[in-house]
Amino acid sequence: MKPVSLIQFLIEERRAGHINAELSLLIEVVARACKRIAVAVNKGALGGVLGNAGTDNVQGEAQKKLDVISNEILLEANAWGGHLAACASEEMEDPQPIPDMYPKGQHLLLFDPLDGSSNIDVNVSVGTIFSVLRCPDDVVEPKAEHFLQPGTTQLAAGYVVYGPATVLVLTFGHGTHEFTLDREVGSFVLSRRDIRIPEATAEFAINMSNQRHWEAPMQRYIGELLAGTDGPRGKDFNMRWVASMVADVHRILTRGGVFYYPLDARIIAKGGSGKLRLMYEANPMAFIVEQAGGAASTGRERILDLQPTALHQRVPVFLGSRQEIELATHYHREADGAQG
């Protein structure tokens, strides 16, 4: 089969009426920026890019040098293309407007420039996650409130994993597709079209060290997985946790599985609503997973139906093989009902 490049795939999507020229150009620019981030990540210690930047981001987290470098690369690449009205990032408090000297477009771009920061210095896969929304027609200078659109309104979502191979996964709402970077040619080539996540699975991903802080329905659900054949589920489950959401989700898109970052007592005690961010982690991953036949919920609601209230809002994340997500969500709703 003749290899299909990302550019060719985008032209096919345009001909199919799934995307317009501007969105196609936007994805090309983001993919090119991620190729530059891949070069920086792959340099590691030789590039002087490891370690902390000495600054904190809007969430009060210590920024890694590569967090800042990746953010700069994505901002610079998307400033002059004429396809964006503004962009927002995990590393910036407020949206970044497009400089006046450049033409503005109809799209809003949100991104987590380097996901899995805790793994950067230990040479474990990290990634970039992005989501594309339409800028409201009558808005020239988009503010944070113009980004607060439900995940169902996303025009595109994707992530790039910087691992043994550099892989881009993408959806426009017509299936989820994978492209692998051909380093010799320097372009992304279609490696899997229309990915399907198995309905059932025997593999789960969660940070078990947080177990004692979880809510009762989560304790029950994970307890049953750990009980395996000796418990009510009657089958054994295996566990994996890379602590890079992109890598854990990519495994699920490759062989099935489920990923959980639930609420816990410490987060609730601080008045929090989760660890992972809705706009540039949960929403794009939920769109990608649902388009591959999986499910994504907060444990109570479908993530894509949530009405965002803040740019850096956090939510619980349950995603992956449909049967498990539905069962874990059912346990939470049942417990709420019992409490209701």
State the residues that interact with ligand FBP by CB under 6 A. Answer: 90, 112, 115-118, 207, 243-245
Candidates 242, 249, 125; CA nearest to 178 is 249
Is 141 annotated in a binding site? The answer is no
Nearer to ligand FBP, 57 or 329 (CB): 57
Q: Report d(CA 97, CA 119) in Å as an integer.
A: 30
Q: Exposed, middle or buried, 339 (CB in 10 Å: 0-12/13-18/19+)?
A: exposed
- Pick between residue 57 and residue 201 the one whose CB is nearest to ligand FBP: 57
**Across-strand partners of 156?**
132
- Say if residue 10 carries a ligand binding annotation: no
Phi, psi of 116 (to 5 degrees): 90, 35
DSSP 8-state secondary structure symbol assigned to residue 184: T
The helix (H) or strand (E) run that includes residue 161 is strand 156-162
Is the Cβ of residue 120 or residue 195 nearer to ligand FBP in the bound state? 120
Q: Please check if 118 is assigned to a binding site.
A: yes
Q: Is 225 annotated as a binding residue?
A: no
Least separation, in Å, of the C-beta of 312 and ligand FBP?
11
Closest separation between CB of residue 255 and ligand FBP, Å? 18
Dihedral angle over CA of 177, 147, 274, 250, nearest 10: 10
Residue 116 known to bind ligand: yes
* CB nearer to ligand FBP: pick between 13 and 324: 324
24 is in an annotated binding site: no
Residue 115 labeled ligand binder: yes
Shortest reach from residue 247's CB to ligand FBP, in Å? 8
Residue type, 334: E
Closest approach of ligand FBP to the CB of residue 244, in Å: 5
Cβ distance to ligand FBP smaller for residue 117 or 176: 117
Shortest Cβ 7–ligand FBP spacing (Å): 29
Residue 133 near residue 155, CB atoms below 8 Å: yes
CA 280 to chain centre: 6
Nearer residue to ligand FBP within complex by CB, 207 or 309: 207
Complex with ligand FBP: residue 66 or 84, whichever CB lies closer: 66
The one-character DSSP state at 139 is -
CB of 30 to ligand FBP, least distance (A): 17
- Is 275 marked as a binding-site residue? yes
| Burial group, residue 115, by CB count within 10 angstroms (0-12, 13-18, 19+) | buried
H or E segment at 332?
Answer: helix 322-339
- Judge whether 245 and 285 are in contact, CB under 8 Å: yes
Shortest Å, Cβ 308 to ligand FBP: 18
Min. distance of Cβ 175 from ligand FBP in angstroms?
25
Given the complex with ligand FBP, which of 9 and 318 has the nearer CB atom? 318
H or E stretch covering 115: strand 107-115
Buried b (16+ CB within 10 A) or exposed e, 184-216: eeebbbbbbeebebbeebbbbbbeeebeebbbe
Element (H, E) at 64: strand 62-64
Tokens matching residue 195: 């990915």
- Distance (Å, rounded) from C-alpha 62 to C-alpha 14? 41
Which residues line the annotated binding site for Mg(2+)?
Answer: 90, 112, 114-115, 281
Annotated binding site: 90, 112, 114-118, 207, 275, 281
Binding-site sequence positions for substrate: 115-118, 207, 275
